[in-house]
Amino acid sequence: MNIILVVFDSLRRDCVGVYGSPPWGKVQTPHFDAFAAQSLVMTRAYPESLPTLPARRALYTGQRVYPYHEGDIRLKGDFTGAPGWGPIPEEQHTLAEILHDAGYRTALIADVYHMFKPSKNFWRGFDQWTFLRGQESDPARSGPRLTQDEIDYWLPKELQNEGTVRFIEHCIRNMHDRTKEEDYFAPRVLHEAAVWLEQNQDADRFFLTVESFDPHEIWLCPPHYRRMYDGGAGGREQVKSGYEVTADFDRQLLRRTHANYSGVVTMCDRWFGHFMESMRVLGLLDDTMIIFTADHGHSIGDRDYMGKRGYPSTPEVYDVPLMVRFPGAEHAGTTSDIFVQHHDITAAILDAAGVEPPEPIDGKPFLEAALTDSSASSGRSGAAGRASAVGRVPPGPPPPRNHVTVGWGSTETVITDRWWLNCKADGSGVLLRDLEAADPFAGNVAAKNPDVVGELWALAIEDAGGSLPEWIIDLARNEADAPGCSDLAARA
């Protein structure tokens, strides 16, 4: 069996049609939806750690990155993005290395430039790795410099400062000479992945990882994709995330941002369709397992914020799509709501391949539980007993998790069937959401539920191996409390 892992950066779960729609309206994803119809669809998938590089460390190794005991990484050639933002530790085996040693031909096709910066090593274990240059601030081009008129076109004047101007200059400079749709990033990545499939038809079995930085900002797509969402309305351009409160953000600019993001998602969808059609033409759909996911989402005016952050944490950033298409589309139409995290994907791939890791990993296989009556113990409806293309499935093992803990910097988020806890690593600044409420994120119920806070905090500490590193706690002490948080200390 061949295995393909496809990861889209910053793809909101609610922008994939099978999962619903974002607040600003439906995003057109016909190829994602066709894939979902042939797949096992996981409805409660979450990262292990965030943002970009910590998420991929967990995904590529099956090991927890939280709570960052060795995560204070400061290396030349890159900024310090967050705790855990660094290369894969030398002592950890990567999924590609393990499968390579088991006889798989391995390849990585990616434009996620953070993975290829000096000191990084995310290509370990791949027989071929192809880095497509030019995303965001990748130093792919040094000229020509933008004129002031070009800067004013791409970046509204009220958003201009030294940092934002430098950023947008770099991003747009990298786009010079890209004049047609095939020149944009997601098309290039998915086309190159399809070419790799064609070139490697002689492989007995292969493991291919496809990493698209789109739909991460900046949100650039051919105008015909944006027009699908704004009808060709005029107005100023807006392609950058401000990482700020949007209560006073110009409404025309916000609508433009929604249209650009939606357009990039639809462009990703179209070229994913090209990739899947290449699979069909090459006769690979009957002997290949394809896993589709994202590292995280992005707030685009949700709750008056634009950006992504770990505190306060919210579903539009933390909920991730996860779909598994089995060979021959077996189990098509099946849905499961068991808890799954990124490092569980690693374990599931190894389990499906029948390959034992050389050392224990933190991730847990979940496919068997997802395909059987795995949710009965949590009182939620699961995949079992549901009518699907393969009929009903028999009872099976319990779900591997009854909660998830997601780390981001000096904050933790713990999610259970009913509760969503978010607080700082020193136990302060507590936010507790009741997921059974009509609008769970409209209020903080921590003060009314101190016992719940204590129980969830204990889960976070247990998942951290029993303690948090002192340097993370010190970071938390210097971080401001989120608006609306409780004075209650989770450590109490």
Q: How do residues 179-216 score in pLDDT, each as one tens digit?
A: 899 999 999 999 999 999 999 999 999 999 999 999 99
Average pLDDT over residues 153-173: 96
- Please give the domain boundaries of the chain with CATH numbers for all domains: 2-138+174-353 (3.40.720.10), 410-477 (no CATH)
Looking at per-residue pLDDT, the higher value among 159 and 391 belongs to 159
pLDDT at 485: 73
pLDDT given for residue 490 in this prediction:
65
pLDDT of 377 > 70? The answer is no
pTM score over 0.75 = yes
What is the predicted pLDDT for the residue at 488?
Answer: 64
Bond into 215 cis (ω within 30)? yes
pLDDT at 218 over 50: yes
**What is d(CA 229, CA 24) in angstroms, rounded to the nearest whole number?**
10
Residue 385 has pLDDT above 50, yes or no: no
Q: What is the dihedral of CA 169, 118, 342, 167, to 10 degrees?
A: -10
Q: How confident is the model at residue 153 (pLDDT cuts 50, 70, 90)?
A: very high
- pLDDT, residue 373, reads 52
**pLDDT tens digits, residue range 322-362?**
999 999 999 999 999 999 999 999 999 999 999 999 999 99
* pLDDT mean over 276-302: 98
pLDDT of residue 395: 63
Most trustworthy range by pLDDT among 68-72, 77-81, 301-305, 370-374: 301-305
pLDDT classification of 397: cutoffs 50, 70, 90: confident
* CB-count exposure of residue 178 (10 Å: 0-12, 13-18, 19+): middle
The bridge status of strand 288-294 relative to strand 206-212 is: unpaired
